[in-house]
Amino acid sequence: MLGPIEIEVIRNALTAAAAEMDVTVWRTSRSTIVRELLDYSTAVFDAEGNNLAQSARIPSHLNSMSHFLRELLDRYVDPATWGPEDVVISNDPYCGGQHLPDICAFKPVFHEGRRIAFVGTLCHHIDVGGLVAGSYAAKAIEIFQEGLRIPPLKLIENGVRNEGVWAMIRQNIRKPDLLLGDLQSQIASLEVGAAALRRLATRYGAAGMIEAGRRILDMSEQAMRAAIGRMPDGTYEFTDWLDDDGIDLDKPIRLHVSLTIRGDSISVDLSGCSPQVQGPTNATLASSNAAVMFAVMCACDEPFAANAGCYRPVTTIAPEGLVVNARHPAPVVHRIAVTHRLLNAMFGALHQAVPDRIPAAYYGNSYVCTFQTVGEDQKREVLVEIEIGGTGAHPSKDGVNALSAGMHNNSNIPIEMIEAQAPLTITRYGLLPGSGGAGERRGGLGLLREWRVDSPRCFFTANMDRFVHAPYGLAGGGPASVGRLVLARDGAESPLPPKSDNVPLQQGDRVRLETSGGGGFGDTAKRDAAARARDRALGYVAG
């Protein structure tokens, strides 16, 4: 029987193992998306696939690997034949994954002949084939167009590479050296994690490791239940909307949450969400669960160790065939949009339970756009930008202007870096006055960014939302502004569709994006005079 001190030391050691795995990916990966956008996660699981410790910077990855691994163990890989030198990979959303660019790799860890744990690594890969470079096609209508689907399989078996699989992947993707390099680094990080766990197991034994894992999960579950128990019982409903799926324009997608708190558990019924859509704005359960869990953990009043124990008091009900639990072969690459809006809806429901804790809606959207410039000499440069907006006002303070919020977390690219590398000029970049929702607490401001094309030709791709349905205010606070995407050509301005593939642009064209701020909180009449004066002095409000 381990004491509380050993448990905490083991818990820290598991977190440190995930951190070492993380450093390994960072140190050894090839593509910029992994190392600069830090779009990867590493985790340690118990012998049944429950997440014990994780190193994640992106909320959409939370819980998702554990979900994937449990699906693999339940349906796709016989645990009895999964040996210590076997690495299983998959990216298939219909086997427990989120979307095709995210390839997960898992490996079991054995000690004294017993499986004591799993280690896993998730990387967002730069390209997995499909309709468009980067595998982010806005107009895909089935998953087959989104790239190579890797079913759960042993990429390495008994320590030997399955060369046929490597060759198969190589043949089907645009940047094989980068993808396979990043995959190598995932495998290297699994070994680093496994070694750390074996080191730990020599001190505590297989039985000790298993007992520690169980107790670590129980402790987090207990802390989570205590936190939920402090929330008032009741059923709370909320609806928010995605503008459309990019195919059926003007057909909004409903995200409806009915959240019931009873005692120390929460059930989240998503049955009221729209049916799945034609375009890639769909999610599988791995994605939707991540948004549900993230929302509940944000609403708790005490920080605690995030692991699979936290998931136990929370049940998600999501019938298949809905936008939050899409049925094969729906396209899903833009699942982040669904999770952003689902998080908005979850917060709207949780606000009714714990009104002093939950902010109004953040911009709720990854403003992804790509410029592919083509020079006189046919030289191509690709710029992928992910813009953000303002955060929602909180009951106790104003929202923050221009801060990565909600399901994603990314930085901007320096203007000087862009201009030094591609024939593009950023002609304006600033906060957007008036874009935050009004209220006793004002929502944070969105952004304005404008690009000018300096090459003879350029192709523009976008995948954005919140152009019709604004981020909501709460408790009487006003909504934030909606986004705008404008093409300025030869002195005239015209709107650009926010979900579009390969729009041809010419030299001198300017593309201007205005992003949403965050919603306001509370009655505007109650906003104090000093805060109003400051808003006017700093030009945070329009006019």
If binding means CB under 8 A, how many residues of this protein chain bind another protein? 83
Residue with tokens 């381990």: 2
CB of residue 106 to another protein, shortest distance in Å: 21
Q: Which two tokens stand for residue 435?
A: 């874009």
| 396 near another protein (CB under 8 A) | yes
* The binder of another protein chosen from 400, 482, 505, 513 (CB under 8 A): 400
- Exposure string (b/e) for 431-456, b if CB count within 10 Å is 16 or more? bbbbbbbbbbbbbbbbbbbbbbbbbe
| 1 near another protein (CB under 8 A) | no
Q: How many residues does the chain have?
A: 543
Site map 276..315 versus another protein, x via CB under 8 A: ------------------x--xxx--xxxx----------
* The binder of another protein chosen from 262, 428, 526, 532 (CB under 8 A): 428
The answer to whether the beta carbons of residues 260 and 307 sit under 8 Å apart is no
CB of residue 427 to another protein, shortest distance in Å: 7
Q: Stretches 24-32, 95-103, 253-261, 495-503: which one binds another protein (CB under 8 A)?
A: 24-32
If the CB atoms of residues 326 and 447 are measured against another protein, the closer one turns out to be 447
* The binder of another protein chosen from 121, 404, 435, 515 (CB under 8 A): 404
* The binder of another protein chosen from 28, 135, 258, 372 (CB under 8 A): 28
If the CB atoms of residues 330 and 464 are measured against another protein, the closer one turns out to be 464
If the CB atoms of residues 12 and 171 are measured against another protein, the closer one turns out to be 12
If the CB atoms of residues 223 and 475 are measured against another protein, the closer one turns out to be 223
If the CB atoms of residues 258 and 401 are measured against another protein, the closer one turns out to be 401
Provide the 8-state DSSP code for 26: H
Angle between helices 64-71 and 285-299 (to 10 degrees): 140
Q: Stretches 92-100, 243-251, 429-437, 503-511: which one binds another protein (CB under 8 A)?
A: 429-437
Q: Which of residues 446-505 bind another protein (CB under 8 A)?
A: 447
Question: What does the alpha-carbon distance between residue 425 and residue 83 come to, in Å, rounded to a whole number?
Answer: 54
Q: Which of residues 510-539 bind another protein (CB under 8 A)?
A: 537-539
- Residue 176 backbone dihedrals phi, psi, to 5 degrees: -60, -35
* The binder of another protein chosen from 80, 420, 529, 530 (CB under 8 A): 420
CB of residue 342 to another protein, shortest distance in Å: 16
Q: Stretches 16-24, 111-119, 142-150, 371-379: which one binds another protein (CB under 8 A)?
A: 16-24
Secondary structure (DSSP) of 164-219: HHHHHHHHT-S-HHHHHHHHHHHHHHHHHHHHHHHHHHHHHHHHHHHHHHHHHHHH
If the CB atoms of residues 253 and 368 are measured against another protein, the closer one turns out to be 368
Selection from 312, 287, 349 nearest residue 227 by Cα: 312
Exposed, middle or buried, 487 (CB in 10 Å: 0-12/13-18/19+)? middle
Q: Which of residues 184-243 bind another protein (CB under 8 A)?
A: 185, 188, 218-224, 226-227
- Residue 488 backbone dihedrals phi, psi, to 5 degrees: -105, 115
Question: What does the alpha-carbon distance between residue 64 and residue 302 come to, in Å, rounded to a whole number?
Answer: 23
If the CB atoms of residues 143 and 227 are measured against another protein, the closer one turns out to be 227
CB of residue 539 to another protein, shortest distance in Å: 6
Q: Which of residues 47-76 bind another protein (CB under 8 A)?
A: 56-57, 59
CB of residue 16 to another protein, shortest distance in Å: 4
CB of residue 236 to another protein, shortest distance in Å: 17
Q: Stretches 10-18, 127-135, 253-261, 364-372: which one binds another protein (CB under 8 A)?
A: 10-18
Q: Which two tokens stand for residue 202?
A: 């020599």
* The binder of another protein chosen from 35, 114, 254, 312 (CB under 8 A): 35
Q: How far is CA 345 from CA 43, 348, 406, 446, in A?
A: 28, 5, 12, 20
Segment 538-541 long-range contacts (CB within 8 Å, at least 24 positions apart): 539/433, 540/401, 540/431, 540/433, 540/434, 540/436, 540/442, 540/445, 541/433, 541/434, 541/438, 541/442
Segment 127-130 long-range contacts (CB within 8 Å, at least 24 positions apart): 127/101, 127/173, 127/174, 127/175, 127/178, 127/179, 128/91, 128/100, 128/101, 128/103, 128/172, 128/173, 128/179, 129/172, 129/173, 129/174, 130/100
Q: Which of residues 128-187 bind another protein (CB under 8 A)?
A: 181, 185
| 105 near another protein (CB under 8 A) | no
CB of residue 337 to another protein, shortest distance in Å: 19
Question: Which strands sit side by side in the sheet containing 265-269, from one edge to the other?
Answer: 234-242, 253-262, 265-269, 314-317
* The binder of another protein chosen from 263, 417, 493, 504 (CB under 8 A): 417
CB of residue 219 to another protein, shortest distance in Å: 4
If the CB atoms of residues 56 and 87 are measured against another protein, the closer one turns out to be 56
Q: Which two tokens stand for residue 103?
A: 């390839």
- Residue 243 backbone dihedrals phi, psi, to 5 degrees: -60, -50
| 344 near another protein (CB under 8 A) | no
| 394 near another protein (CB under 8 A) | yes
Question: What does the alpha-carbon distance between residue 12 and residue 58 come to, in Å, rounded to a whole number?
Answer: 21
Residue with tokens 């920080």: 303
| 370 near another protein (CB under 8 A) | no
If the CB atoms of residues 115 and 408 are measured against another protein, the closer one turns out to be 408
Question: What does the alpha-carbon distance between residue 537 and residue 398 come to, in Å, rounded to a whole number?
Answer: 16
